[in-house]
Structures are given as structure tokens and as C-alpha cells.
Amino acid sequence: MAAFAAAGLAVSPHKVGPDYIDPGYHALATGRPGRNLDAFMCGPGLVAPLFAHGARGCDLAVVEGVMGLYDGASGQGELASTAHVAKLLRAPVVLVVDASSQSRSVAALVHGFASWDPEVRMGGVILNKVGSQRHEELLRDALGSSGVPVLGALRRAPQVRAPSRHLGLVPVAERGAAALESVAASAEQVRQGCDMDALLALARSAPELPGAAWDPHEAVTSAAGLPTATGAASPVPGAAPVVALAGGAAFTFSYAEHAELLTAAGADVVPFDPLHDEELPPGTRGLVIGGGFPEMYAPELSANEPLRKAVADLAASGRPVAAECAGLLYLARELDGKPMCGVLDARARMSERLTLGYREAVAVSDSVLAAAGTRLRGHEFHRTVVEPGAGAVPAWGMHTPERRVEGFVERGVHASYLHTHWAAEPGVARRFVARCAA
């Protein structure tokens, strides 16, 4: 992405699956929001429209896969795999192969991936972690009769490495200049080792996608049950209510479509940083706190007492507050012994166990986000525990083996570990903004 952007192309970055962290690196590489394509959370029918929405006005779109090419939602076949998304987009696939410690076996590996599903168009392979020129020659020779062209070979390069945490990279916002340097080094590796012209030609061989691009205004209007021909810019009459959106290094997990849907629903979305801002944005009528790694910044978040009090006062007033995962921890009484906002009578701590996976959920009760009985698909990703795990009025009933309830609904607060993608249910944004304006 960075190599093509540096060549002057407008590059649209996309990521298969629910990951928030890689899209941050994509945004750094391209200067455009990184967008997720998740066939589990949003449904297969929204993958192409969301892709087209992100790719408007671009010369090239690059979609990073998730796990292995054919790995999808557990127990559900190809659903939400990279191969599934590639077929939905009718996009060619470039297979990136870790070529460490192998030579001729690479041909058998590539043959297996290329022949497993005839509907997946394998456009080429990039050999990664190649040890030497001689190693590259052996690999290319082995693949010569495979029918899958070699589009690049990348040497091992320590300068492109990025530190990891909880099965993912450390977010861009936490790394500063180091993230810029690793992305620039990666771009240089690609420029030197890949056939840029062949990659671009392969991308341009993808056929046109049928149907219209996703549009947040149309999505919100349709979800609200309002006629689409009113011409109104906002479903909410009057002055746009200010919705404060947490950001900064501690709260980096947010899908770009959430802010777009809130804006389309009539809100004035104003970002703020709980690590540094001592006040909520002026006129705040609602608060959205997404995911991130607040456990890495618990002392700093705790030290910002003026903002913690402002959040507690806003919640006590009954104003709408939507908190996901990291937001849930921030609203608790404490996190690893450090005082937080105290909105919820719960305590959070780090755990040895990583909770990770797709979820099917149903809203247990009416809240600022959803009416009771609303069904959503989401994702959990955390290495923390909140005790208790649910309030007197839980947020969600989870369709997991233990059929657990989870989260908190209190006054205008909806707080939960569950990450959701509002494009799948735009009525969430419409309902939230309407409550802010009420």
C-alpha cells in the first residue's frame, strides 16, 4: 500500500476480518481510513458495497487477508475467510508465502492453495523471508511450472518488524515515529523486490462489481424507516447534537463507518483524547468510547481526574453513553487497582487468558443502542476480566456454549465487551443520536 501510494496512486486500504490494528497501519501507509470487510459481522451482502464505499475515487484497492487464505469463522466453512471475501469481490489473490527453510516444497504448497477452491483466482505469489539470491533462484525454479507467477521476493529485513501484543501488532498511535519508519522500510522492500507493474495490472484485471456502493445516509434513513426522498440532510431535526468520540493512544479501536453513521444520523462527531483532554467537547450530548488498550495507560487515565468526573457526571445525567471493551474498562470503578470513572459498579483487571472470537448476541433489554430482542453479530478480543461480568440489567445474551449474559445497561449507559459493526445494523446509530437529541 505504501509503495503504491508513494508512486502517486490513490490507494484504498481494506482488511478482512474484525481487526482494528492493521487498518491503522494501512491509514499510515495510504493517508486514507483503513476499512474492514467482515462477512460474519456485516453479512456477505455488505462486503462489496462497503468495499466500493471505501474505494471511491481511488486508483487501486488492496485487501489484506486474515489468518490463512481459507480460514474463516470457526465451524462455519469458508464464511468470513479471505477466500470468501475474494470471491465476493471477484478479486484476484496474491498469495504471500513464508519461504523460510524450504525450496522445492514451495511449489507443492502453492499448488495446494491454488487448486483447493477453483472459484478463487490465484493471480500470483510473493515469496517472503527469502534468505539469499541462491535461495530465491531455487524457489523461482521450483515454481516455474506451477502456473502461478512469482510477482515478488522479499528478503528477511529486521527493520520492517513491528512489536506485537495479544496476537496483534502494537497500534500505530502508540509507536509514533517507529511506525512511520517500519512502514517506509516495508515500502522500500516492496519497491525493490516486487513487480509493481504486474501487481497493478493484476488488480486492474478485476471485473466491475455490480450494485451500488454503501452510503451511510441511505443506510441510516432506511434503518429509521423514513422515506428516502425527503432530501433532508439529517434525520434529527434542529441543531446537531455533539457526540464525543474517544480516541488517542488508549482508544484506537473504532470502525470508520461508525463516525460516518453518527454524522449521517445528525450528530456533530467530535473526537477527544482521554489521556490528555481534561474536559469533554463543549456541548457534549452523547459519548462513544470504543476499544483499545487502556490497561497500558491505566495510571495516565486515572490521573486525569477532571475528565473522569466529567464522564461520570454525563452518565449520571442520563445522557447516552456507548462503551465497547476498552470503554467498558474506563467506565468501571477501577482498572488494575487504578481508579477509573466509577460509572459502573465493577472492577477490571488483567488476566492470563485471552478471550477471542466471533459472537452472536441478542439485546437483553432496551438501551440507547438497541431495542430488546435485537440480534447482532460481534467480536470479542481482550485479555482483561470485569467483575461482575454483567449488571442487574445485562447488555447482551451471548450464543456461546455457556449461553452467558454480559455487559451493563444503566440509565443511558450501554457498556459491553462486544465489538459490533454498526453498518450491519445502522439503526444503532440512528437510535443513539435520536436519544442524544431528545
- Catalogue the active-site residues: 325
Rg value, the chain, Cα: 23
| Vertex 240: Cα angle to 12 and 368 (nearest 5) | 85
Q: Alpha-carbon distance 418 to 395, whole Å?
A: 9
CB atoms within 10 A of CB 243: 26
Paired strand residues for 165:
168
DSSP alpha helices (H): ranges in 275-356? Answer: 298-303, 305-316, 326-331
What length is written for the chain? 438
- The one-letter code for the residue type at 44 is P
Q: How far is CA 45 from CA 48, 87, 143, 210, in A?
A: 7, 12, 36, 12
Cell digits of residue 430: 440512528
- Residue 162 near residue 185 (C-beta atoms within 8 A): no
**CB atoms near residue 131 (< 10 Å):** 14
Residue whose C-alpha cell reads 465497547 in the numeric block = 324
Residues 63 and 85 sit within 8 Å (Cβ to Cβ): yes
β 122-130/396-398 pair status:
unpaired
The grid cell for 348 is: 477490571
Peptide bond before residue 388 is cis, with ω within 30 degrees of 0: yes
Q: Are strands 164-165 and 168-169 parallel, antiparallel or unpaired?
A: antiparallel
Name the grid cell of 234. 439529517
- 389, 351 Cβ separation under 8 angstroms: no
Q: Please identify which residue in the block is written with the cell numbers 477532571.
A: 306
From the list 356, 406, 357, the residue with the least C-alpha distance to 382 is 356
Q: Which of 167, 162, 214 is nearest to 35 (CA)?
A: 214
What CA–CA distance (Å, rounded) separates 120 from 26?
24
